Amino acid sequence: MTPEEFRTAGHTLIDWIADHRERIPELPVQAQVAPGEIAAALAPSAPERPQPFPEVLADLERIVVPGITQTQHPGFFGWFPSNASLASVLGDIASSGLGALGITWQSAPALTEVELVVTDWLRAETGLSPAWHGAIHDTASTACLVAMLAARERAGDYGETRGGLQAEPTPLVVYTSPHAHSSVPKAVALAGFGADNLRLVDVDPQTFAMRPDALAAAMADDVAAGRRPAAVVASVGTTGTTSVDPVAEIVAVAARHGAWVHVDAAMAGSAMLLPEHRGLFTGVEDADSLSWNPHKWLGTVLDCSLLYLRDVDHLVRVMSTDPSYLRSAADDELARAGVPQYKDWGIPLGRRFRALKLWFHLRLDGLEAIRGRLRRDLANAAWLAEQVRAAPGWRVMAPVRLQTVCLRHEPTGTVAEDGTVLDGEALDAHTLAWAQAVNASGEAFVTPSLLDGRWMVRVSVGAEATEREDVARLWELLQAICEK
């Protein structure tokens, strides 16, 4: 395809995207297709001859759009805000159009240095000291794995250079909460620690936050049994209930054993931009690593996950390679100029120019507006929680620390006045049924989740398009479906 052909098709596509974004409120939030339906609508093989762009665009419209759960819809209250601000989309388009290759600094100095600068912008805005250094990864799952590998090699004194984890004489143990995201046990498994060496530390029954005393006791038990605490993953804003582990206390306990502390704030990290909410993160400065995703609430289009670390030299020692074909005459100057080789900060060698979408997003939208939107969402969640608390037969299931409201409708006969569950099966069936009815309506989308063994529903407020009236409409819909 020539630049001129691209120009013509590109203009059409830009208009299509603008039109699509405008009509999202009229689309069903949840994709209304059956498994396999889209695959069956696609050609069984790649074409030999070029197909005209209008034909491909028509398929995008006809086949793809109905097959997307519209996370940009004002009625999207599922999983977590997965915003894709149009300012960041422009940055992503620039990245694709440039077609830069990020393997070393030399392959695209700007790719490295814009990333260096924008991750530092967000470091400063989130209140971290200059001791921290960030890089962009695809997701918090990957960031957590990188943190676990860094922790493993610190605890095992760079065993990767010798016999690896299989030659480690002292079993290494990782600690987290049962409310941690599924990516944490996955990272522990993939890093080779083994499920037997993952401790799910007790949480407070009211706040669902990790209990530092329980962590201390678990670590003491392991040490007494000849094992070594290697890492703790603390969550600030768990997926289930947005609960907040007490990072300062956890850091203090971990320090006694030299264990790495990784803070997973994938969704909630955006709240660090709000000084009045920074208390949730007390102690993070003394942790070892922190990840959060601008591709969630902040709204930089997926994928854009930040991993900040203090001891970058250690990470580089764990991750670096130095093949001859990646060396250049400029390498010696890089360290002097304080410029990183990001290939040594994570798993992949090649990287997209993802910093551009963050750069465009922050510059075109500005921090003031972004902070305003976050505050709007927090107020909307607080408002919804108030309505739920005031409504008979409804309950807020967890403290509303941020923009997520965990709730349940408890019909007569399933729950006693004091909150004792009388018929859990019936309650679960009811909860799943109404959540499914909400999602099937196409008007709104919510996520059922287990809490203490029973289903509840998470209302995660924070789609860029969601205003108070959309939250009010959701609340009417929930009542209409549950109380009919």
Q: Which is nearer to a copy of itself, 352 or 408 (CB)?
A: 352
Q: Which is nearer to a copy of itself, 192 or 411 (CB)?
A: 192
Q: Which is nearer to a copy of itself, 38 or 248 (CB)?
A: 38
Q: What order of strands is seen across the sheet that includes strand 305-309?
A: 133-137, 305-309, 289-292, 260-264, 228-235, 172-176, 198-200
Distance of closest approach, residue 341 Cβ to a copy of itself, in angstroms? 10
Distance of closest approach, residue 318 Cβ to a copy of itself, in angstroms? 8
d(CA 402, CA 387): 16
How many Cβ atoms from other residues are within 10 Å of residue 62's Cβ?
10
- How would you label 89-121 residue by residue, b for 16+ Cβ within 10 Å and e otherwise? bbbbbebeeeebebbbbebbeebbebbbebbee
Query: Considering only CA atoms, which of 273, 176, 146, 172 is closest in space to residue 225?
Result: 172
Q: Which is nearer to a copy of itself, 39 or 131 (CB)?
A: 39
Distance of closest approach, residue 412 Cβ to a copy of itself, in angstroms? 25
Distance of closest approach, residue 296 Cβ to a copy of itself, in angstroms? 9
Q: Which is nearer to a copy of itself, 85 or 387 (CB)?
A: 85
Is the Cβ–Cβ distance between 417 and 393 less than 8 Å?
no
Distance of closest approach, residue 249 Cβ to a copy of itself, in angstroms? 26
| Tokens (6 digits) for 238 | 């768990």
Q: Which is nearer to a copy of itself, 89 or 252 (CB)?
A: 89
The three-point CA angle 326-328-333 to 5° equals: 125
In single-letter form, the type of residue at position 111 comes to: L
Distance of closest approach, residue 58 Cβ to a copy of itself, in angstroms? 12
Distance of closest approach, residue 255 Cβ to a copy of itself, in angstroms? 23
The CA–CA distances, whole Å, from 331 to 56, 232, 328, 336 equal: 44, 35, 6, 9
d(CA 85, CA 95): 15
Distance of closest approach, residue 406 Cβ to a copy of itself, in angstroms? 11
Is the Cβ–Cβ distance between 13 and 57 less than 8 Å?
yes
Determine how β-strand 228-235 pairs with β-strand 404-409.
Answer: unpaired
Q: Which is nearer to a copy of itself, 106 or 282 (CB)?
A: 106
The CA–CA distances, whole Å, from 436 to 73, 121, 168, 272, 454 equal: 18, 41, 48, 33, 16
Is the Cβ–Cβ distance between 410 and 443 less than 8 Å?
no
Distance of closest approach, residue 410 Cβ to a copy of itself, in angstroms? 19
Is the Cβ–Cβ distance between 37 and 76 less than 8 Å?
no
Q: Which is nearer to a copy of itself, 10 or 442 (CB)?
A: 10
Q: Which is nearer to a copy of itself, 69 or 466 (CB)?
A: 69
d(CA 201, CA 231): 13
Query: Considering only CA atoms, which of 325, 355, 358 is closest in space to residue 340?
Result: 355
d(CA 473, CA 459): 13
Distance of closest approach, residue 328 Cβ to a copy of itself, in angstroms? 8
d(CA 248, CA 132): 17
Q: Which is nearer to a copy of itself, 216 or 312 (CB)?
A: 312
d(CA 190, CA 182): 12
Is the Cβ–Cβ distance between 118 and 304 less than 8 Å?
no
Distance of closest approach, residue 84 Cβ to a copy of itself, in angstroms? 3
The CA–CA distances, whole Å, from 92 to 69, 85, 200, 227 equal: 21, 11, 39, 46
Distance of closest approach, residue 241 Cβ to a copy of itself, in angstroms? 10
Q: Which is nearer to a copy of itself, 70 or 380 (CB)?
A: 70
Q: Which is nearer to a copy of itself, 257 or 351 (CB)?
A: 351
